[in-house]
Amino acid sequence: MEKSLEGWQKLYDVIIIGSGPAGLTAAIYTSRANLKTLVISGAMWGGQLMLTVEVENFPGFKDGILGPDLMQNMWGQAEHFGAEMIFEDATAVDLSSKPFKVMVGTKAYEGKSVIIATGASPKRLGLESEQRLVGRGVSFCATCDAAFFKGKKVIVVGGGDTAIEEALALSKLAGEVKVVHRRDKLRASKILQERASREPKIGFIWNTTVREILGEDKVEGIKLAKVDSDDEFELICDGVFIAIGHKPNTEIFQGQIELDEAGYVVAKNETKTSVEGVFVAGDAQDHRYRQAITAAGAGCKAALDAEKYLGEF
Judged by the rule CB under 6 A, the positions of this chain that interact with ligand NAP are 57, 125, 157-163, 165, 182-183, 187, 209, 243-246, 290
DSSP annotation of 301 reads H
Of 225 and 304, nearer to ligand NAP (C-beta) is: 225
| Residue in the shown chain whose Cβ atom is closest to ligand NAP | 160
Q: What minimum distance in Å lies between the beta carbon of 167 and ligand NAP? A: 11
Q: What minimum distance in Å lies between the beta carbon of 283 and ligand NAP? A: 9
Q: What minimum distance in Å lies between the beta carbon of 218 and ligand NAP? A: 22
Is 145 marked active-site?
yes
Q: What minimum distance in Å lies between the beta carbon of 57 and ligand NAP? A: 6
Which helix or strand (DSSP H or E) is residue 153 part of?
Answer: strand 153-157
Of 30 and 250, nearer to ligand NAP (C-beta) is: 250
Q: Which entry of 13, 69, 145, 260 is annotated as an active-site residue?
A: 145
Please state, in angstroms and rounded to a whole number, the distance separating the CA atoms of residues 210 and 233: 10
Task: Say if residue 119 is exposed, middle or buried (CB neighbours under 10 Å; 0-12, 13-18, 19+).
Answer: buried
Of 160 and 277, nearer to ligand NAP (C-beta) is: 160
Please state, in angstroms and rounded to a whole number, the distance separating the CA atoms of residues 102 and 91: 8
Of 20 and 159, nearer to ligand NAP (C-beta) is: 159
Please state, in angstroms and rounded to a whole number, the distance separating the CA atoms of residues 102 and 111: 8
Angle, in degrees to the nearest 10, between helices 161-171 and 190-198: 30
What contacts 191, CB < 8 A, 6 or more positions away? none
Active site residues: 141, 144-145
